[in-house]
Structures are given as C-alpha cells and as structure tokens.
Amino acid sequence: MIYADNAATTKPSRAALDAMIPCLEGQYGNPSSLYTLGQQAREALEDARARIAKNLNATPREITFTSGGSEADNQALRSAAAIGARKGKKHIISTKFEHHAILHTLQALEKEGFTVTLLDVHTNGIVTAAEVETAITPETCLVTVMYANNEIGTIQPVAEIGAVCHRHGVLFHTDAVQAAGHLPIDVQAQNIDLLSLSAHKFHGPKGVGVLYAKKTIPLTNLIYGGAQERGKRAGTENLPAVLGMAAALDDACAHLAANTATVTLLRDTLIAGLSAIPHGELNGDATHRLPGNVSFCFEGIEGESLLLLLDQKGICASSGSACTSGSLDPSHVLLAIGRPHEVAHGSLRLTLCEENTPREVEEIIESVRQVVSYLRGMSPVWRDLQEGRKNYVIQ
C-alpha cells in the first residue's frame, strides 16, 4: 500500500506511540486527583503543555487542549465574536476556501447577527494582506485566515495579515491544522492571536488538538463542567492523546527543515510527472504550497472513480469531487480558485510525508497516468473534447 493522503490523517509516529502507551497501561491517573498517581498525570500534562507552547513560541497558559482542530476553530471564533459583540463590533473577515469548521461556524454567527466578508483567493489560492486591510471596517472584530489550505496546500501570508490586523486593532485567528508540524510557527513573530492545530495531521493521535489564545484574550466555553483547562474546557483531560501530540510535535519541529527538504523534492517530482498528463493542471500556486501537497484537476474524468481505481492499485488518495462528499457540488475550494464544476469533479489530491519514497512517487505517477487514460477512454465528455464538440478548459 502507498499512503498518499497525509492531509486526511497521518500514521502515528513511534515517538507518539511510545509517549502514549505507558499512559494507557500503568499511568492512568486523573490529573485532577490528589494522590501520587493523579499528580504524576498532572505533571505529565503540564510538561506536555509547556513543550507544545515552546514549539509555538507561546507560554503554557496560552495553550488549551481540545478534541481537535474543529473544536479549536469553533472556540476561537466564538471567543473572538463574544469579545467583538461586547464592544458592538460584529463584522468578521475570512476567505472563501476555509475549512468547514470555520465556514459553518461563521454561518452560525451570521444567524446571530454578525456580518461576514469572505475574501477571494484568486486562481493561485492565496489572499493578500492588502485585500484583508481593504476589507477591515470600524465594526471588524476578527480576521480568520487559514495558514495553509487543506485541499490545495497553498500557504497564506499569515505574518503580514496579522500585522495588518494589529495595526487596526482587530484580532487575528489562523487555522493552522495543515501547517502545524510542517511549516514554522511563531505566534509572536507572526502576529497571531488565536491558532488552531490538530495532532493527527503531524503523526500524533486523533481526537486531540490545541487552541492557542494570547493571554489577554478571554475564551468563551463551548463545554461547561469541571475546572479543567482553567475552566475554559471542561472534561477530564485526554492525557494519552495529549502526550502523543506533544511527542509528535516535538519530533516534527525538531526535523522540520530536513522533512521539508525531503518532502518538497518528492512533491516536485510528483508534480512534474503528473504535469505530463495532457489536459490536467496543478491546483494553486506551485511554490507557495505545503511541502507534501499535490492537487490536480484532470479534464474528462470524475474523481471518485479515479480514487477507487487507484485504491485497486494500492494507492490511498482523495478528491474534491461531489461524489466523494455525498453532495451535488464539488469542493468549495476548487470552485473558489475558479475551477468550473465539470473540471472540479476531476480532482485528485495526493499528500505526501517524509516516509514516502521516490519509488512510491514513480509508482503513483505511472498509476495515475494509466487510470486517467483508462477512464478517459470510457468518458463521453472526453470524446466530445477530443472530437472538438467541446472546448478544453485546461489546455
């Protein structure tokens, strides 16, 4: 099997497992308990918090553990919205291609009286700080722009956007779920007030994430109950997962430069190989993208059948086609960068990590080439394109 869907989830690393297993076996204490077993758990929890904070250039009290990226996104937006509402500021700026954890929370806030501006991301999949600045009004309380897009991998100028926000006294949140462990993060240097991350995107376990919030920002609870996480997120801490996350993030940050070099090389080989397929094209900027992200659209075919046939060849990949989402519309991300519906249906996302090999990349290129050509061979759309009854969108 060739695993090339690392943007969906990653294989937990040895370091993450080694950190988790003792905690699942003997060290099962509740961090809130007073006896030694509990206090050992408390120490392990706070040690993990301090290490995660250090990796982000934050302080431990600015780190809140959550159930993952979606919860962190929800709490970040709810908190910033509550602060804004108290000052009578009810305008939020974001982009058209955010994750649904952001977009759907924004839709909920709109129903509660907020107004939302979603900025264009252009064909290259990148919004500019100048565009953010133009959209800011005296009513704006929050700007939320993802660090890197989950489907097409394009990297946003977060430090510049953060600087613009601070000039105008607006809070800045970034959904760094795809970026954490893969791109450098320094919340101070990058002017970030709120940041979300998820452990399973960097070889940690599923079901755990972090909301970073600058210490001056009061959080709004999504979950009420006990006094865990300074009373801002009730529920007994998921200590095994937190320890696995801390170990995985330590690992990822320690090897960031080396992993980036290895994976970027694999990515660019894959992009070059797939670019040789006629009437197919890379989605989003070729260089300002995550080291492991390769996203293509191929004309005349549909993504789900492409994925199923790649699976038959042992390759795990994903697509933004409607059929893979269970809805009628293809990915909002591909539509946001201007892909027409019929082209967006033929999308393929391959996301690599440092464990992939050049040989695997060659195999992927060969398999995609075969499958695309096979599916085009039975596609009436391809026939129409070939016989000149329809014009190619991708030359």
Partner 1 sequence: MLYSEKVMDHFTHPRNVGALENADGVGEVGNAKCGDIMKMYLKIKDGTIEDVKFETFGCGSAIASSSMATELIKGKPLSEALTLSNQAVAEALDGLPAYKMHCSVLAEQAIKAAVKDYYDKNNIPYDHEQFAATACCHEE
Return residues touching partner 1 (CB under 8 A): 300-305, 308-309, 312, 321-324, 326, 328, 330, 340-342, 345, 378-383
Residue 241 identity (one-letter amino acid): A
| Owner of token pair 């300002």 | 288
Comparing CB distances to partner 1, the nearer of 174 and 379 is 379
Distance (Å) of CA 294 to CA 45, 73, 330: 36, 25, 18
Integer Cα distance of 92 and 79 in angstroms: 12
Comparing CB distances to partner 1, the nearer of 94 and 367 is 367
Comparing CB distances to partner 1, the nearer of 228 and 331 is 331
**Cα-based torsion angle of the residue sequence 248, 254, 260, 261 in order, rounded to the nearest 10 degrees:** -140
Both tokens of 67, joined, read 């159930």
- Residue positions annotated with a catalytic role: 323
Mind giving me the DSSP string for 217-241? SPPPPSS-SSSTGGGTS-S---HHH
Question: For residues 216 and 197, is the Cβ–Cβ distance under 8 A?
Answer: no
Question: For residues 33 and 224, is the Cβ–Cβ distance under 8 A?
Answer: no
Comparing CB distances to partner 1, the nearer of 380 and 388 is 380
Mind giving me the DSSP string for 119-171? E--TTTT---HHHHHHH--TTEEEEE--SB-TTT-BBP-HHHHHHHHHHTT-E
Comparing CB distances to partner 1, the nearer of 152 and 301 is 301
CA nearest neighbour of 137 among 97, 175, 92, 182: 92
DSSP state of 318: B
Minimal distance in Å, beta carbon 332 to partner 1? 15
CA nearest neighbour of 264 among 347, 182, 178: 182
Comparing CB distances to partner 1, the nearer of 36 and 391 is 391
Comparing CB distances to partner 1, the nearer of 148 and 315 is 315
- Beta strand 140-144 pairing with 315-316: unpaired
Spatial CB neighbours of 233, under 8 Å, sequence gap ≥ 6: 64, 65, 66, 75, 219, 221, 222, 223
Minimal distance in Å, beta carbon 380 to partner 1? 4
Minimal distance in Å, beta carbon 93 to partner 1? 30
Minimal distance in Å, beta carbon 197 to partner 1? 30
Minimal distance in Å, beta carbon 130 to partner 1? 34
- Beta strand 91-95 pairing with 140-144: parallel
